[in-house]
Amino acid sequence: MVVEIPNEIQNIVIFGSGLMGSGIAQIAIENGYNVTLIGRSMDKLQQSKTKLSNGLTRIAKKRFANDVETQSDFVDGCLDNLRLCINSDEANLEDADLIIEAIVENLKVKQKLLAEIENVISE
């Protein structure tokens, strides 16, 4: 007997727009989740969005090899689920169902971020 567990996660916030954060974001938006990606600068976030778009385009070409319009619709639909922010104030953390930390491997920076998140979501 298979028991279905309802998926109540819809909104994901990811801190960190580097390789790991962008990779997590791509998988999430590809699977229909709303993702807010938070990075240090809009330039870095735009670079991440470009990488995401390129990755999604490669996937679309494999999935929909003979249908350019569907490829484009797939990429656009995925990117519609992505929001870019440079700080947590814009991210509406209180609306997040899941918050993922994928920032630099520096304990003090991580502790500061987690304290900031805790202040917002514990209210």
Interstrand relation of 82-85 and 34-38 (parallel, antiparallel or unpaired)? parallel
pLDDT in tens, 3-61: 555 679 999 999 999 999 999 999 999 999 999 999 999 999 999 999 999 999 999 99
Exposed, middle or buried by CB within 10 Å (0-12, 13-18, 19+), for 89?
exposed
Domain 11-121 classified CATH 3.40.50.1000? no
How many helices and strands in the chain, by DSSP H and E?
4, 4
Give the position of tokens 């309802």. Answer: 6
Token pair of 117 as six digits: 């998140």
- In the chain, where the domains are located: 11-121
The per-residue pLDDT for range 30-45, each reduced to its tens digit, is: 999 999 999 999 999 9
Can you give the pTM of this predicted structure? 0.90
φ, ψ for residue 5, nearest 5 deg = -105, 120
